[in-house]
Amino acid sequence: MPALYPLPAMQPFAAALTVLALVICAAPECVRLLRRRRREGATAYDGGSLALLLTLLALSLAAAVLAAALLPGAEMVRGRTVVFGLGIALILVGTALRTYAIRVLGRYFVITVAVGSDQSVVERGPYRLIRHPSYTGALLSLLGFGLVLTNWASLAAIIVGNAVGFGYRVMVEERVLARALGQPYISYMRRTRRLIPYVF
């Protein structure tokens, strides 16, 4: 059987759809990074988590694309069109969830881990069930990109790299919030899950 490459590399329509989904996903993130908004009076406790997260994100995406190009033997053979479509859907759903979560946080949202003296525990919208819905959204989009490449090695690169980066980021953020907000946040942690409602 001839080697199979990702659908976006083989079909113009799939390539256009992929580019459109990635632009919708990545454009707001680029704007946020360029603005690097900091809250007035907020103290940063990032612990290098943003740099690690962005580094591992870039490395995992590069590794995923390289794996798709260099390891066609790891292609997803069955249901490739369905897998590709699911990947596009996850990119868009993840982007929508992340955007919604950021809007719910409002002025409390910053790129770096920072806490202001007036900050309180937010339990509206998706925060009623999970503590980091913006990260859940980002991870869904990344998972979607892994599926779009229709390659098991690409998907593994996405999952491993970002599990480490987001795992460290969540650990830093929760430690900072628990220390800064005290018992209200600790109680909130007991009532909710990190990333997946009722599961994890």
pLDDT tens digit at each of 200 positions of the chain:
456 778 887 888 989 999 999 999 999 988 887 776 555 445 567 778 888 999 999 999 999 999 999 998 899 988 999 999 999 999 999 999 999 999 998 887 877 777 766 778 889 999 999 999 999 999 999 999 999 999 999 999 999 999 999 999 999 999 988 888 889 999 999 999 999 988 98
Domains parsed from the chain with CATH numbers: 7-191 (1.20.120.1630)
CA proximity to 130, closest of 198, 199, 193, 200: 193
Task: Output the CA torsion 163→164→168→171 (10° steps).
Answer: 40
Question: Strands 43-44 and 114-115, how do they pair?
Answer: antiparallel
